[in-house]
Structure 1
Amino acid sequence: MATITTPRLTLSPFEPSDWPFFRALREAPEIMRYMAAIAPETETRRQFAARLTTPHTFVIRAHDDATPLGDIGLQISSRYREEADIGYTVIPAAQGRGIASEALRAVCEYAFIQVGVKAVNAYVLGENGGSVRVLEKAGFVRTQVLEQAYEINGVRYDDWVYRLESGAA
């Protein structure tokens, strides 16, 4: 599996030792409020096990520090092999420092050049202003608003669809 480096970051495949980080991230209400309901530990373990074998999923770290700052990953469409969905999460202490933007740009470049993807899609809750800014700063364009399409803990939210095409970044 690939490792991606940027001026400040190393994006490396998940290792079994990343479990405490992954669990803490998926149990943090301030993070999960924009993603999903906090799942039982058995489901979180299942998701983590999948990360260990799924290509194009990475833990984000600074070059000079082994502490995980977040995660990011691509999921290649099974129907349209030249398209992928992307998702990312950054711990609160690393937010607002350009970490998500740098990782997002790097993984999109990797998708276009190494994987052969022609378009990357992202879904974000309209209320997640930080993530909206990250996507737009990276050149993603909002293509659709799915009104009240996503539910977390019994509350329905608008889901915004963004897209970046190869050569547009």
Structure 2
Amino acid sequence: MAIITTSRLTLSPFQPSDWLFFLALRENPDIMRFMADISPERETRLLFARRLAAQHTFVIRDQENGTPLGDIGLQISHLHPQEADVGYTVIPPAQGKGIASEALQAICRYAFTQTGVNAINGYVLADNTPSARVLEKQGFIRTQVLEKAYEVNGIRYDDWVYRLERNPE
């Protein structure tokens, strides 16, 4: 399993010891309001088990002290293995400090150099402008608006689709 480092961060594969951190992320209403309804713990455990088994999902950690700050991952398409979807979450105290941008830049570099992926897609609820800015800073271009396509807590939101393509060498 890969470990990715940046000047401030280490992106390391999920370990069983990350369960409580993962649970705290998935039960935090401030984080989940842009992702999904908060699930019962048994469903969150199943999701965590998939993270443990997944090849390209990482805990974002402070490189200096190992404190978990969020998670990030790639889901490579089975039908189109040259494409992947990216998703990320950062705890509220670490938001607005460039953590998500730094982690996204690192995982995009990893995707393009280590996985055979040529394009990465990101999906953001229209109300989540900070996350949209993170994608745009990395060079992602909004390619589509899926009107009222995603529901969280009984409210339907537009879903913005972003794409970053590998630069030809």
TM-score range, shorter chain: over 0.9
* 1:1-169 → structure 2 map (5 Å cutoff): 1-167=1-167
* Secondary structure, aligned partner of 1:65: coil
Q: Which runs of 5+ in 2 are unaligned?
A: none
Q: How far apart in 2 are the matches of 1:159 and 1:29?
A: 19
- CA–CA separation in structure 2 for the residues paired with 1:2 and 1:164: 22
Code of the residue aligned with 1:144 in structure 2: it is: Q
**Matched residue count:** 168
Give the distance between the partners of 2:132 and 2:110, measured in 1 at CA: 21
Which aligned runs of 4 or more in structure 1 are off by greater than 6 angstroms?
none
Cα separation, 1, equivalents of 2:66 and 2:7? 16
The SS at the match of 2:66 is coil
Residue aligned with 2:97, SS:
coil
Give the deviation of 1:65 after TM superposition: 1.4
Deviation at 1:153? 1.4
For residues 103 and 95 of structure 2, what CA distance do their matches in structure 1 show? 12
- Partner of 1:74, secondary structure, is strand
Q: Normalising by structure 2, report the TM-score.
A: 0.98
Cα distance, 1:9 vs structure 2: 0.5
> C-alpha root-mean-square deviation of aligned residues, in Å?
0.8
Identity fraction in percent: 70
The offset of 1:73, in angstroms, is 0.1
CA distance in 1, matches of 2:154, 2:70: 26
Structure 1 residue ranges without an equivalent (≥5): none
Q: Deviations over 1:67-126 (max 9, x none)?
A: 100000000001101000000000000000000000000000100000010000000001
- Please state whether the residue corresponding to 2:132 is helix, strand or coil: helix
